Amino acid sequence: MGRLHYGILGAGNIFFGWGNGSGHLPGCPWVIEEGRLAAICDINRDNLNKAASATRRLYLDKAAQHRAAGREDLAQLLENDCNSLKLYSSLEEMLQSEKLDFTVIITPCEHHAEAIRKILAAGCHILCEKPLVRTWLEAQALADCVSNSDCIFLYGENLIYADPFHDVRKLIAKGEIGELDTVRIPFSISKPGNYNYANGRVGALLDNGIHAITLAWHIIGFDYVPQTVKALHPDGIATRIGKRLIDGEAQEFTVEDYANFAVLFVHPQTGHWVSAILEASWSFGDMTAFKATGNKGEISIKDGKIMVEDAYGNSHPRNISHGGFLNSEPPPGYGGHPQQLLNMIRLVRKNAVPLCDIRKAAESLAIAQSAYLSEARGKTAVTLDEFKQYAGKFSHTDELLEELLSKGINKGGLRA
């Protein structure tokens, strides 16, 4: 099998990234020897043209760098791929016209379900950006569709591939801090990456919080089972800044901009449990930095190093490991997107089972939406089974979503 061919659906902000090599596009030239970006699709023609221009600039810049380093083979691949890149404004047309091995979905999540069904019907494998969809109900239906297909589905939680957290997971697994009991993960910024998230009924919990949930689960171990969720005092799941300056106009904010909640994970064989204390915010954060605590010490990340502190207060810094072979380029950026893309290529090549699949994506949504239900019930603990019984009473995903948003958000924040 030669290089795999893939297409990208969605050419919005996350396609370009946040600078310093983050985002989806920077990973494409990094995997050039194993994967070819054959096509980009977006219904917005302006976005599509900007994406094509950005791809051309990046590919030609990288080609010049490789040529200067004596890698004419890579320079030629980049130039050829750049010149043969196709643009589509219709997903159906892209799937019919291109022989794609897989498609990367990075559209807004309210459009994921329709796209996933169409791509599965075409017999194409899928890498899908988080969150999977907007409710657990919809996620369950999609999980059944994937199970009934022969397609590989990789859920795009990029942070599990990022160097600091990948190394933290290994240190915990080797018993560096004894038996793990708590993981604390804040994922907080001052505003949404895109205010259109709110129009799609996606708040900080489904945007930032879903990152924290799946990352915590990975660090604890996917063999653990999420059991109970509780919104935490004082704010829980809240809209703390009721009005925001959006496009020069003060507008009412209709979704949560803050979430602070706990998740209890239990190992089904040993009965051992680990608590994840998570924060997701579009209104700055209150929680202390990342920390994993065990009965022999704790792990934190500081100044580009992993700090391991033992029970006596002694710190043992660990360098974050990076690939060091001279014949290979280190991955661009800090967010794990390039490594995730490479993982997808190799999963398809080997017909392997993803570490983070659609069932984990669905369960991560169940955790997030259990936090809404906990808030609605006065911040009492809610088991995932209780949430699923509650969700099962709704006949349509939009009904469940609006019920959670109307009752599961603390409106006690600033109103102006």
> Which of 222, 215, 160, 209 minimizes the C-alpha distance to 359?
222
**243: which strand partners?**
252
Q: Quick one: CA torsion of 373, 278, 413, 244, rounded to 10 degrees?
A: -110
Architecture of domain 160-325+361-407: 2-Layer Sandwich (3.30)
**What was the pLDDT predicted at 68?**
97
- Please give the mean pLDDT across all residues of the chain: 94
Residues 6+ apart with CB under 8 A from 214: 130, 155, 157, 159, 160, 356, 360, 361, 364
**What was the pLDDT predicted at 413?**
54
- Phi, psi angle pair for 108, to nearest 5°: -55, 145
Residues 6+ apart with CB under 8 A from 92: 118
Q: What is the pLDDT along the chain (416 residues), one digit of tens a residue?
A: 699 999 999 999 999 998 888 899 999 999 999 999 999 999 999 999 999 999 999 999 999 999 999 999 999 999 999 999 999 999 999 999 999 999 999 999 999 999 999 999 999 999 999 999 999 999 999 999 999 999 999 999 999 999 899 899 999 999 999 999 999 999 999 999 888 898 899 999 999 999 999 999 999 999 999 999 999 999 999 999 988 888 888 888 889 999 999 999 999 999 999 999 999 999 999 999 999 999 999 999 998 899 999 988 899 898 887 666 667 788 898 899 999 999 999 999 999 999 999 999 999 999 999 999 999 999 999 999 999 999 999 989 999 999 999 999 998 754 33
**What was the pLDDT predicted at 247?**
81
Length, in residues, of the chain = 416
- Phi, psi angle pair for 212, to nearest 5°: -60, -40
Same fold, 4-156+328-356 and 160-325+361-407: no
Q: Provide the sign of the torsion angle of the four alpha carbons 130, 135, 141, 147, taken in this order.
A: positive
Q: To 5 degrees, how large is the angle CA 201–CA 388–CA 280?
A: 45
Beta-carbon count within 10 A of 111 CB: 16
Residues 6+ apart with CB under 8 A from 215: 157, 159, 160, 165, 185
Cβ atoms of 121 and 92 closer than 8 Å: no
Domain boundaries, the chain: 4-156+328-356, 160-325+361-407
CATH topology of domain 4-156+328-356: Rossmann fold (3.40.50)
**What was the pLDDT predicted at 248?**
84
How far is 114 from 9, CA to CA, in rounded Å? Answer: 12
Q: To 5 degrees, how large is the angle CA 75–CA 76–CA 78?
A: 65
pTM of the model: 0.96
Report the 3 state secondary structure along the chain.
Answer: CCCEEEEEECCCHHHHCCCCCCCCCCHHHHCCCCEEEEEEECCCHHHHHHHHHHHHHHHHHHHHHHHHCCCHHHHHHHHHHHHHCEEECCHHHHHHHCCCCEEEECCCHHHHHHHHHHHHHCCCEEEEECCCCCCHHHHHHHHHHHHCCCCCEEEECHHHHCHHHHHHHHHHHCCCCCCEEEEEEEEECCCCCCCHHHHCCCCHHHHHHHHHHHHHHHHHCCCCEEEEEEECCCCCEECCECEEEECCEEEECCCCCEEEEEEEEECCCCCCEEEEEEEEECCCCCCCCCEEEECCEEEEEECCEEEEEECCCCEEEEECCCCCCCCCCCCCCCCCHHHHHHHHHHHHHHCCCCCCCHHHHHHHHHHHHHHHHHHHCCCCCEEHHHHHHHHCCCCCHHHHHHHHHHHCCECCCECC
Residues 6+ apart with CB under 8 A from 220: 180, 183, 265, 274, 276
